[in-house]
Each structure stands twice: as structure tokens, then as C-alpha cells.
Chains A and B, each alone.
Chain A
Amino acid sequence: MSEATLSASLPLSSSEVFAQRQAQLGLNADWFAEKQAAAWSQFQELPFPTRTNENWRFASLKQVRALEDFVPTPFAAAGDEETLVARSSHLKDYAGRFVFVDDNLAAARELDPELARQGVIFTTLIDALHQHRELVEKYLLQQSPELGSEKFETLHVAMMRAGVFLHVPKGVEVKKPFLVYHWNKNDGGAIFPHTLFVCDENAEANLIEFQESAQTDTRHLVVANSHVYAERGARPSHTIIQNWNLNTLSFQLNTSNAQSDVTSRGTVINVGSDQARQEIHGKIFGSGSDVNIYSLNVPRGSQEMDQRTLQTHLAPNSRSDLLFKNALQGDSKTIFSGLIIVAEHAQGTDAYQTNNNLMLSDTAEANSLPGLEIGANDVKCSHGATTGRIDDSNIFYFLARGIPRPMAEELMVFGFFEEIIEKFDNEDLAEFVRGLVQNKFR
């Protein structure tokens, strides 16, 4: 315990922190320890992002360059676990659940015993490293978003200890969702949640991550990674509800990797964080796949939501669709930078990208960089980006029917979100997200 307290008092950039944390992990997996050591030295060498870096265009760099303000959370109970576990109840019906507080497990894992019998693995990453070494080695840290956050990604790898491994074996279909709750709690703490979600051939599963803060006035750094691997014919669905408190600097660096005939859906709902940087890379390695990426952002006050996406088509005859919707209030700022890459031989690709910004204040700022890089000619690719306010003619329609203006505007805004929310096939989740999002307008 004394070691833990010591590490907690040292800032992130200290090398002692890394050595202690590795020792404390008590890992019996050399290859992983080596990866962490390599990542740590890379982290030391890599520069912080600068103004001229295209991947950081329009982003605020001051905060992301000041990591020394944070210390990694100690290997010890943060306190209040019982309350937080009790608060981890957004969905009543689930197949399994994990609750972490400040990167420490706060409650025993829950998993439907029937699924365990069918071979579903739902365990912490550390346990998985020991018990399912071959499986984990095949997928863990194999893909990276490659969108500019290499420095933060290496920090994540060096520091990661809390995380979840979900593996759904061939042909197993799980309708109820797997839930992962991450709470941050202690002031000035840095956490590094990791999610590895593998859907084997023809398997189907749904993983939802809830990201929350125990208190509203504490400061935090979060560098989270989530990676989804879909084998042939798999149907994974992955959702992140980002609701850290308004003093959190958060990074979410994700990849979604599809082999052939995959139908996948990835959704990120952004409600919290002072500054949220997100990178999402959908990679399509096989034909016949249908990859969907959605996001809904409701910043207000001085929040900045900075999202960079890539849709990479490496194989012919697949489809990808991206829809990112932002509703901006106050002095908030959004950045959407998306790119579709169609490799030379990826003929027959269908790829779409849409970014809609709804401006609800005079001082908000929306940046939109929708890009295409097309190297094959037999493709259907398009992108669209719109920025504007609520259409007056629509408001007029409401007014003409006796609905007062404030209510008409509210209905229009909520209607704007429905396009994303209605895509959830879980009504409880849709209802929860509606409440969360609408709360930002009250």
C-alpha cells in the first residue's frame, strides 16, 4: 500500500510511476510487459501535438499538452464503491456487468451462467492475459486509430490495467447487452480504461460502456481505448455513453475491425467532458460487410468535442456509413474531421459520411472537415456536411398549429437527435439516452 501512495503523488511523466505500476500489476505475461515498456519509452520520445499537425487542426492544444497536472490513480479502493455500484443501474436487463472506479474493480463480475456455459468470455483484461493468453495475444493492441494521438495511445498502453475482454464464440447470439461502467472519482486522477470486444464468426453481441464521474467538481484525465474485432459474419454492436464531469479531459481512441460479411454498429454519445478528443477508425478487411458509425454530441458552456474518423475500405464490395450529429449551445466548439479511404482494389465500395451541425447559440463554433481519398473508380462515395440553425419554416408549421415557440424549438432539437437514437435496438437504452441528452437543454 505504501508504494501505491507513493505512485499517487508522482505526476504522469515520471519514470518511477511506470516502474512501480508494472510491478504492482503482478502480471505473468512477459510479452505484454514488454509491450508496456516499449510503449512507455515511445511515450517519452513522442512529441506533443502541435499547431501545424493536420490531425489537430482547429483543436485546443493547451490542455492536452499539460498532462503533468495529473497523477495515475492508485491500486486501491477509491471509497464510496457501494454507492457507485448502486448508481450503476442505467439498464435493468443485461447479460453481464462490470463496474470500475478509478481503474479498480468495484464489484464482482456478473455474467449470465448460461452464457458462460456457451463459452462466452467476459472478464477483466488482466485475468484474460493469464487465462486466455492465445486469444488475447491475437487481438490485443493489434490495431490503432492512426489519427494523431500516438502520444496518448502509448501512454494508455503503458498505464493500462483496468479493462474488459469480451469474447463471443462462433455462432453464439446474445441479445441482452453486456455493460461496463467506468467511474472516475479522485481529484486530479488519471485513468486508462481498455475494452477488447471480439465477435467470432457469425456471433452477435452488444456491449455498452457507461463513463461517469462520481462528483461534479473534481478534475480528471481519461485516456480510454476500445477495440472491436468482428470475424466473418459477426454482428457486433458497441456503444459508449460518455458522461464524464465537466472538468475532465478525455481521450477515446477506438478501432472497429471488420472481416467479411460483418454487420456492425458503433455509437458514441457525448454529453460530458471539458474537452473530449475522440478517434474512431473503421477498418474493413473483407467483402460484403456493412459498417455503421454514429455519434451524437450535445456540447454547451465551454465544452470542446473533437472527433476524427477514418473509414478505410481495404476490400471490395463493402459498405460503410457514418452519421455524426452535433447540437451546439453556449460557447461550445465541435470539430468533425472525417476521411473515407478507398484502397486501389476496393472496387464496388459504398461509403457515406454525413455531419450535421445545429447551431443553437451565437457564440458556438462548428468545424467540419469531411474528406475523401478515393483510389478506385467503381465506387459510390459521397459526403455531406451542413451547418445551420433550426429552419424557420419548420417552426412556423408548429406555431400555426398553436404550439408555442420554445416548445417547438425543443421538439425540433429532440427530433434532430432521434435519427441517431432510434437506431438503438434497445428501447431502455434509447430512453436513457433521450433523458441524458434532453437534460442538457433544461
Chain B
Amino acid sequence: MATTPDLNIDRDSGNFRYDTTYEFDAGVGLNEQTIDYICDVKGEDDWVRDFRKRALEVFWKKPNPTHWASKQLDEIDFDKIRYYLSKGQRPTRSWDEVPPEVKETFERLGIPEKERAYLAGVEAQFDSEASYSNMKEELSKQGVIFVGSTEGLKEHPEIFRKWFGKVIPIGDNKYSALNSAVFSGGSFIYVPPGVKLKQPLQAYFRINAENFGQFERTLIIADEGAELTYMEGCTAPKFETNTLHSAVVELVALKGAKIQYITVQNWSSNVFNLVTKRGLAMEDAEVKWIDCNIGSKLTMKYPGVVMRGEGARGEVVSIALAHDGQHQDTGAKMVHAANNTASNIVSKSISIGQGRSTYRGVVSMPKHLKNCKNNTECDALLINTNSRTDTYPAITVRGQNNTTQHEASVSKVSAEQIFYMMQRGLSEGEAMSLAVNGFVNDLIREFPMEYSVELKRLIDLEMEGSVG
């Protein structure tokens, strides 16, 4: 190929915003008063207030992890961020009651249709608070709980307090501490023993305000033998200044439970997406993260699974697409903490233009465990001559009864492939598009059907001026 074509990905479907007035605004900057303000607005119990304040201390103490991570983190000015913005909304169960500009936002993004089409429940978060939340009635009859974080902690403490902040402790990293201090919104889900949700639950996260930080907090508990699939999508309009999204997601899969957590992240290219996600898998339980990162300026996200019970399984399947000016720093963390546990990581990344994708992984098998297995594959595809990819796995194995294997490869779309397709009448652009889709195809099939169609469209490539 004489020239390498440029790929354009449709990332603009979320690039619009509505002016809106906020009833509650914690102001700019972060201090103890910000915390008190959030607690007062939400009417939270004292233990939550204490938890938040402890977290704030930890956040201030911890340095940015720039000794291993991107120096871009230093660009975040915590004094210029707005930490809480809401219209005082309680999530409504009826779409008609949603404020008009919020409704229009989600209608443009197609949320109501999606719900009607196939979802078991949906929640839509606009800046700090959920503005809409609904779940099919028969599910609540079965005892399924699907609420926001504030409601979850206040109304079902007997269920959620036990695990809240336990899978990801406050001090896990600087950004989990920040989230613990100022979290708002997110989903708290409980699925009772033996209940298997046939359709996925969905949450939709939207940032509308400039200089805003979104800190949703999600805790999902699948009781013994329960099964669920949860999907989240994220968008924001493009602003001049940087926006911060820092979520904490904790999953607890009790004995024999299965949780599948799907993310399609399409933040605009000025969002710092610094997310901590971890699942706890007890005996024979399974936690699977399916992660697709298309948007944001810098994403740092390493979904993890702690396999605490015998026979637990953990899996991370991820696709990352890094365009000009983007850095997708993603990976996986597998902690084997019981015998006979197995984990699998499959990661594929595509770097376009000056985009940079990074895989970082941790696999750890502590002493005296038996028959733990890990398999890791990471493949990177580089489209342009100056695209960049990095791989930094860390694998620790103790004892002789455990096995790991790790493989990584870097490639480009081969000239032969393109030639072969062009010979059969495809344009160079179409050929390139097919080749890239082929590269991620086996992973896209892991997504639910509706999402895989959407993803294929997102990765649909536009080739312009590439053929000389």
C-alpha cells in the first residue's frame, strides 16, 4: 500500500448539549464543605458521611500514579472541577415526567426505544443524578432491586452496606478514593438466589455540563445461583476544557452466580475516564467483563476479578480503539485466591493515526494454591505509520501446580489482504474496513446482538483520499 488511509470513526452521535439550570450545585473545587453539601442534598446517614470524609483524606494523601501511568494525569486540575450538579431530580418511573431537555438528550441517544426493544430495566444518569429509572414489574416481584446509590444505601442497607467499599477499598488508588468521597448516581442491583434475568439491565451515563466530574458508583450483588447481564453506555458533548469521569464498580457473585458486565464507552475526546472496576467471584461463580473503549482522551481502566471461591472463573474481553489524541490505557487484573480457579483475558486494540493503545495486566497466583490457570492474549493492530501500542503485563506465579500463558502480537493490515480484496472489486477503503472488522470480529460476537450491530457500525470506517 502506497499510503495508509485515515480511518474516521463515528464518534459524533453524542456531540450535542442542552442548556439547563441546576437546582443543586456543589460549586467548583473540593473540600469538606463539598462533601457536607452532597450529604445534605442527598439526606445521607452519618456513616456514609464519615465514609466520604475518610475517603477525601486518602484522596489528598495519595499521589497521582504518574510513576507508571501517563503524565497526562497531571493536567487534571481538581480545583476547577464541579463535583455535584443536579436538578434535584428523583429518578422518575415514567418517561413523561423527565425534564424536557434531559428527555430530549436521551431520546436523541435512543434510550426509550432501546428499553422498549429488549431491556429488562434501564437507568439514565444525567450529570450527578439518575433522571430516569425503570424496571419490568415482574422483576421487582421476584425481589430484584435496581436503584441508584443513594437509594440503595438508604433503603436497603442490610443488603448493600455489607459489600459497599469491600471489593474496592477506599485506598485502592487515588481515583477510587476520589469516587468514594464524592460518588453520586450509579446502579445498586441485587438479584435474589436462583433468579436468572433473561434480559439485560442497562444504565446510560451522560455528562452535560462543562468542567464537570461524574462519579457514579455501582454495586451489583448476584446472590447464590443468580444470573444477570448489565450494560452501560457513556457519552458526553465536546467541550473546550477537560471533563473527568471516575467511577467505581463493584461486583459480587456469590456461590454459583454469574455476572456479565458490558461497557461501551464512547466519551468525547476531552474526557478523562479513570475507572476502577472489580468483581468478587465466590465458589463456582463467574464474573465476566466485556469492555469496549472507543471514546475519551485518556482511559485508564483495568477490570479485575478476585477469584475467592474454589472453581471461580474470571474473564475480561476488551476492545480498544485509539484515534488521534487518544490514549486507551486498558487491561485486566486477575487475582487467584482459591484452588481450581481459571481466568481468561482477551484484549484487542487498534491504534489509528497518532492514537496510542496500552495493555496493562496483572495476573497473580499466590502460594499454596493448586490448579489455577490463566490464559492471556493481547493483539494490537497498527493502522498508520506513526500509530503506537504498548503492552505491559505482570505475571506472578508461585507454586508448581499453576499454569499461565501469555501471548501478545503486534501487526498491521497486510498489503496482501488489501490487494486480495481489491482484486475482487472492493475499494481500498472497504477492504481496510473489512480487515479491521475481521480483526475484532471474534470479540464482537461476545457482545449481545444489539450491541454487536451497534459496534460494527461504530467501527465502520470511512476512507477518504486514501487511494492515490
Chain A residues proximal to chain B, CB less than 8 Å: 52-54, 57-58, 344, 347, 357, 359-389
Contacts and interface: CB of A to CB of B under 8 A. Distances in A.
A369 B394 contact: yes
Interface stretch (B99-107, B338-346, B407-415): B407-415
B407 A382 contact: yes
A377 B410 CA distance: 8
Given A367-B394, A374-B390, A384 B67 contact: no
A374 B397 contact: no
Given A372-B410, A377-B383, A385-B395, 5 more contacts: A362-B400, A365-B396, A376-B386, A381-B410, A382-B408
A53 B67 contact: yes
Interface in B386-434: 386-412
Contacts of B395: 366-369, 385, 387
Contact of A371 (B367, B382, B390): B390
A416 to B, nearest CB: 14
Contacts of A362: 367-368, 399-401
B380 interface: yes
A374 B384 CA distance: 12
Given A371-B390, A372-B389, A389-B403, A359 B410 contact: no
B400 A377 contact: no
B385 A377 contact: yes
B392 A374 contact: no
What 10 pairs across the A-B complex have the smallest Cβ distances?
A377-B382, A388-B403, A359-B400, A372-B391, A382-B409, A381-B410, A368-B395, A387-B397, A385-B406, A389-B400
A378 B389 contact: no
Nearest to A349: B410
Contact of A377 (B67, B68, B387, B404): B387
Interface in B49-71: 67-68
Nearest to B412: A377
A386 B67 contact: no
Contacts of B67: 52-54
Contact of A374 (B4, B388, B399): B388
B231 to A, nearest CB: 31
A328 to B, nearest CB: 8
Given A369-B393, A385-B395, A389-B403, A363 B367 contact: yes
A188 B80 CA distance: 57
A384 B393 CA distance: 11
A371 B392 contact: yes
Interface of B: 4, 67-68, 367-368, 380, 382-412
A367 B365 CA distance: 10
7 contacts: A53-B67, A344-B385, A366-B398, A369-B392, A383-B406, A385-B395, A385-B406
Contact of A388 (B388, B396, B402): B402
Contacts of A387: 395, 397, 402-405
Contacts of B384: 377
A53 B297 CA distance: 26
A389 B405 CA distance: 12
Nearest to B365: A387
A385 B404 contact: yes
Contact of B400 (A361, A367, A369): A361
A58 B395 CA distance: 10
B406 A384 contact: yes
Contacts, number: 131
A374 B402 contact: no
Given A362-B368, A387-B404, A376 B394 contact: no
A161 to B, nearest CB: 35
A372 B408 CA distance: 9
Contacts of A370: 391, 393, 406, 408
A367 B395 CA distance: 5
A264 to B, nearest CB: 23
Given A386-B406, A388-B404, A359 B4 contact: no
Contacts of B407: 382-384
Contacts of A382: 407-410
Given A357-B397, A382-B407, A344 B386 contact: yes
B390 A373 contact: yes
B399 to A, nearest CB: 5
A361 B400 CA distance: 5
A378 B410 contact: no
A381 B409 contact: yes
A368 B4 CA distance: 35
Given A54-B68, A371-B390, A371-B392, A377 B367 contact: no
Contacts of B402: 359, 387-388
A388 B400 CA distance: 6
B406 A364 contact: no
A370 B408 CA distance: 9
Nearest to A379: B410
Contacts of A380: 410-411
Given A374-B388, A374-B389, A385-B405, A367 B396 contact: yes
Given A54-B68, A387-B402, A389-B403, A366 B396 contact: yes
B40 to A, nearest CB: 38
Contact of A364 (B386, B392, B400, B411): B400
Contacts of B398: 363-366
Contacts of A361: 399-400
B282 to A, nearest CB: 25
Nearest to B403: A388
B162 to A, nearest CB: 33
Contacts of A54: 67-68
Contacts of A57: 394
Given A364-B400, A365-B396, A383 B390 contact: no
Nearest to A368: B395
Contacts of A365: 367, 396-398
Contacts of A374: 380, 382, 388-390, 410
Contacts of A386: 403-406
B396 A376 contact: no
Contact of B399 (A53, A347, A364, A378): A364
Contacts of B399: 359, 361-364
Nearest to B364: A367
Contacts of A357: 397
A341 to B, nearest CB: 9
Contacts of B383: 377
Nearest to A386: B405
Contacts of A368: 393-397, 404, 406
Contacts of B389: 372-374
Contacts of A52: 67
Contacts of B409: 381-382
Q: Which has the most chain B C-beta neighbours within 10 Å: A57, A360, A372, A378?
A: A372
